[in-house]
Amino acid sequence: MSKNVSIAIIGGGASGTLTALNLLRKLNVPAQIWLIEKRNEAVYRGNAYSSRLNYEPLNVPAGRMSAFSHLPDDFFYWLKKKKQADADFDIIRESFVSRRWYGDYLTERVGNAAAQSSHIGFETLIDHALDIRFDGRKDAYCITLNSGNNLHANYLVFATGNEPPVDIFKQEEVEGLNCQYVSNPWTEDPLQRINEQENVLIIGTGLTMVDHVVSLNKRGHKGKIFCFSRHGYLPLPHAETSQNFVFEFNDQQKDLPHIFSEVKRNIDNANGKNIQWQNALDAMRGKTGRMWKMMSLDSKRLFLNRLKSIWEIHRHRMPLASSETLKEMEKPGQLEILSGKVTGINRNKGNVIFKFISRTSKEERSIKVQRIINCTGPSGDYFKTDNTLLKNLLGKGWMKQDDLKIGIVTGARGEIIQDNGVVLQNAFAIGPLRKATEWETTAIREIRTQAEDTATQISSRVELNHEVMVEIGL
């Protein structure tokens, strides 16, 4: 059977894998799917689920991580069947299980779907997509790969995910630090060369920092750990119990203070019903996209500059067990949270001296460490990242950076909008790339819905095209 239609998915993390999985389940006509992933260890896992840390729990309970929106317990049942024997605890829907296990789950689900779809060719390429042009002769996109090969595809899905943090130091400041400075915490095990007596500085105080600190603790680290960010806020813990709550949102007014007063009203309602605030915020899911779209550019800018850090610690919470460990480390002073503005770093006899203006004392302070890990979080300003493909496409106007520089401009269903405002034909974005339009587009619950919708859009176009071809006898 000829597989005359081809779909290239660029990025083999959770977004790309879920798109492939849905295409394999939905496509009823012959087709070829290519999944292109530049890092071997990230295939079907991406940055989040290929973790090498010894403490790397999901940040979301198992019961909310199914790959399918219509089968909410799929991951939980898979865990019970495949991982219960390996776990030293009873796995329940509220458990925070290993991120690598989640990668195992995605790998198995996509493998099964491929095995059951004999009319679809599915191939995973370990390669780096560098650029794309349109090949008029073949009426298809032509993807330039780092291996020197070219790949033709009729449909494109961009699932390039979370870009590593942008360096906060100048190139000349970190040159020569070698393994003393880890600029990207997601590529390897950043802790593997750390001696237990060394002092470690983690820049960034979000969830990636939490995983690194708890991992160090579980390895029996003895040295001091400093965690630094502009504000010094830590993610708050998840609720002790998960309770149902209906979030009511009155969208009559569109400005930021109104949205915040709506959030507060719902939290007060939850309190009145003895429901923890975390449950009220979780019930907002699915509504935040609408809120974001309602806001003016000025409101969005105000939110990003003034409120984002407060919002993030409430929204992206840590498991209770991680929170307990951090508190235990803080008590004797092994863990110190610092805040302020970085003024620079320099080297002194094998040590790194990190200098900053303290947010509390307003004075310059310096600390002496042996290791620094950059956990400042993903960047959406693609011109500043190392993603050659995105830079090339932005450069030639196939993609357009949004006004706030947090992502690219996409349509309501993930269509890529070019610099001239016209949709790029048969090309879609999924996952973190949609941040500028959707705001909350990073967790599995949002990504799986996008993957289902993207696969539906592509399948219906492919099938329509197939019917026309059959009708005209091609």
Q: Which one of 20, 29, 159, 216 is in contact with ligand FAD (CB under 6 A)?
A: 159
Q: Is 369 or 389 the residue whose CB approaches ligand FAD more closely?
A: 389
What is the rounded radius of gyration, in angstroms, for the C-alpha atoms of the chain?
23
Q: Which one of 245, 431, 437, 458 is in contact with ligand FAD (CB under 6 A)?
A: 431
Task: Locate 344 and state its tokens.
Answer: 């620079």
Q: Are 431 and 151 in contact, with CB atoms under 8 Å apart? A: no
Q: By CB under 6 A, is residue 322 in contact with ligand FAD? A: no
Q: By CB under 6 A, is residue 160 in contact with ligand FAD? A: yes
Q: For residue 302, what are the contacts with CB-CB under 8 A and spacing of at least 6?
A: 256
Q: Which one of 19, 47, 229, 279 is in contact with ligand FAD (CB under 6 A)?
A: 47
Torsion of CA 250, 254, 255, 259, to 10 degrees: 30
Q: Could you give the 3-state DSSP secondary structure of residue 338?
A: strand
Q: For residue 384, what are the contacts with CB-CB under 8 A and spacing of at least 6?
A: 166
Q: By CB under 6 A, is residue 129 in contact with ligand FAD? A: yes
Q: By CB under 6 A, is residue 443 in contact with ligand FAD? A: yes
Closest approach of Cβ 195 to ligand FAD, in Å?
Answer: 24
Q: Is 29 or 447 the residue whose CB approaches ligand FAD more closely?
A: 447
Q: Are 350 and 317 in contact, with CB atoms under 8 Å apart? A: no
Question: Site residues for ligand FAD, window 3-22 (CB under 6 A)?
Answer: 10-16
Q: Is 414 or 432 the residue whose CB approaches ligand FAD more closely?
A: 432
Q: For residue 255, what are the contacts with CB-CB under 8 A and spacing of at least 6?
A: 295, 296, 299
Q: Is 262 or 282 the residue whose CB approaches ligand FAD more closely?
A: 282
Rounded to the nearest angstrom, the gap between the alpha carbon of residue 410 and the centroid of all alpha carbons in its chain is 17
CA distance 416 to 428: 5
CA distance 367 to 338: 10
Q: Is 224 or 434 the residue whose CB approaches ligand FAD more closely?
A: 434
Closest approach of Cβ 46 to ligand FAD, in Å?
Answer: 2
Q: For residue 454, what are the contacts with CB-CB under 8 A and spacing of at least 6?
A: 19, 22, 157, 413, 414, 428, 430
Cα-based distances in Å from 431 to 14, 19, 131, 246, 473? 9, 10, 20, 26, 38
Residues in contact with ligand FAD, counted by CB under 6 A, come to a total of 33
Q: By CB under 6 A, is residue 26 in contact with ligand FAD? A: no
Q: Is 29 or 451 the residue whose CB approaches ligand FAD more closely?
A: 451
Q: Is 66 or 154 the residue whose CB approaches ligand FAD more closely?
A: 66
Question: Site residues for ligand FAD, window 381-420 (CB under 6 A)?
Answer: 387, 389
Q: Is 47 or 454 the residue whose CB approaches ligand FAD more closely?
A: 47
Closest approach of Cβ 255 to ligand FAD, in Å?
Answer: 29
Q: Is 161 or 340 the residue whose CB approaches ligand FAD more closely?
A: 161
Q: By CB under 6 A, is residue 128 in contact with ligand FAD? A: yes
Region near ligand FAD per CB under 6 A, out of 156-164, 269-277, 341-349, 454-462: 156-164
Mark residues 49-78: x for contact with ligand FAD by CB under 6 A, - for none.
---------xxx------------------
Task: Locate 29 and state its tokens.
Answer: 């006509």
Q: By CB under 6 A, is residue 379 in contact with ligand FAD? A: no
Region near ligand FAD per CB under 6 A, out of 34-42, 192-200, 347-355, 453-461: 34-42
Cα-based distances in Å from 116 to 15, 81, 456? 21, 21, 18
- Torsion angles phi and psi, residue 311, rounded to 5: -60, -45
CA distance 200 to 203: 10
CA distance 64 to 261: 27
From the CB of residue 348, how many other CB atoms can be counted at a distance below 10 Å?
A: 8
- Torsion angles phi and psi, residue 419, rounded to 5: -60, -30
Q: By CB under 6 A, is residue 38 in contact with ligand FAD? A: yes
Region near ligand FAD per CB under 6 A, out of 31-39, 215-223, 238-246, 408-416: 31-39
Under the rule (CB under 6 A), what is the footprint of ligand FAD?
10-16, 36-39, 42, 46-48, 58-60, 128-129, 159-162, 208, 387, 389, 431-432, 442-444, 447
